[in-house]
Amino acid sequence: MALVETHLDSGVLTVTLADEENRNALSSTLVGELVTALDAADADPAVRVVVLTNSGRVFCAGADLAERSSDGRPKAKVDAADLFSRFGRSPKVYVGRIAGHCVAGGMGLAAAMDLSVAIDNAKFGFTEVRRGLAPAMISVLCLPRMRPADAAEAMLLGNRMTGADAARMGLVNRAVPADELDDVVDGFVADLLAGGSDALAATKQLLLRVPGMPIEEAFAWTADLSAELFGTDEAREGMRAFLEKRPPDWAG
């Protein structure tokens, strides 16, 4: 049976981690299937937003420790680092619907999302130090979202936290009761579908690149990007729709 399931409906691709027996750990098989789903989403113009979620009580338990080779390196051809970096490179917007516990490498998967909503009583945690490890690769994704004091406490102590704590630390956008999860995710998706696909992809690049740029370089690059966007068919349609007081064609 597939460990990753996909369903496309009205421009929204739902990708579900479905290895409940293994707590959706990042095994070589699950990672391979997930990367295949991401590649298909990037290549399909019918996909405008991707929602990543889980079946079962665990969103992701992190690395599949039983599968690691004796030298500690993953056996998979596509490892977690390759997986995590794909979300930022993708022109699609990813929304995490985190309907279960999320620890260790799962924290990196949650932090890799563009937007994310978790159930407030889900357990989160950087538990690596209690396994004689460190939250190494996922720190690349998590540290930019966190205050240094929060990061030190969470990563050094290795304690569990709630989804509400994860939201307070910036690791997810929202933490809500389980019965409100779908409404909040659906609201995010509806707002994203109101934006143009090229505009969303460009905005993802702003969020990724501008914070690390020297200010003069940032102004030069964003000026070029703005000029490029103003010349697109999407922008012309968006401006016409605004002046004509109607929805743009992509929001139809």
Q: Within this chain, do residues 185 and 242 fall inside the same structural domain, yes or no?
A: no
Q: Within this chain, do residues 65 and 174 fall inside the same structural domain, yes or no?
A: yes
Q: Within this chain, do residues 47 and 64 fall inside the same structural domain, yes or no?
A: yes
pLDDT by residue (tens digit) across 127-154? Answer: 999 999 999 999 999 999 999 999 999 9
Which strands, in side-by-side order, build the sheet including 4-9? 4-9, 12-17, 49-54, 93-98, 115-119, 174-176
Mean pLDDT of 96-111: 96
Which CATH number fits the domain that encloses residue 130?
3.90.226.10
Q: Within this chain, do residues 36 and 59 fall inside the same structural domain, yes or no?
A: yes
- Which residues fall within 8 angstroms of residue 109, CB to CB, at 6 or more apart? 26, 52, 59, 60, 83, 84, 96, 102
Q: Which of 20, 21, 128, 237 is catalytic?
A: 128
Specify the pairing of strand 93-98 against strand 115-119: parallel
Mean pLDDT of 225-236: 96
Given this model, what pLDDT does residue 82 score?
A: 84
Say whether 128 is catalytic. Answer: yes
Which CATH number fits the domain that encloses residue 227?
1.10.12.10
Examine the pLDDT at 243 and tell me if it is beyond 80.
yes
Mean pLDDT of 189-213: 96
Give the structural domain span for 212.
197-251
Q: Within this chain, do residues 13 and 128 fall inside the same structural domain, yes or no?
A: yes
Domain end, chosen from 169, 193, 217, is at 193
Q: Within this chain, do residues 184 and 202 fall inside the same structural domain, yes or no?
A: no
Question: What pTM was computed for the model?
Answer: 0.93
pLDDT by residue (tens digit) across 10-30? Answer: 999 999 999 999 999 999 999
Given this model, what pLDDT does residue 80 score?
A: 77
Q: Within this chain, do residues 38 and 100 fall inside the same structural domain, yes or no?
A: yes
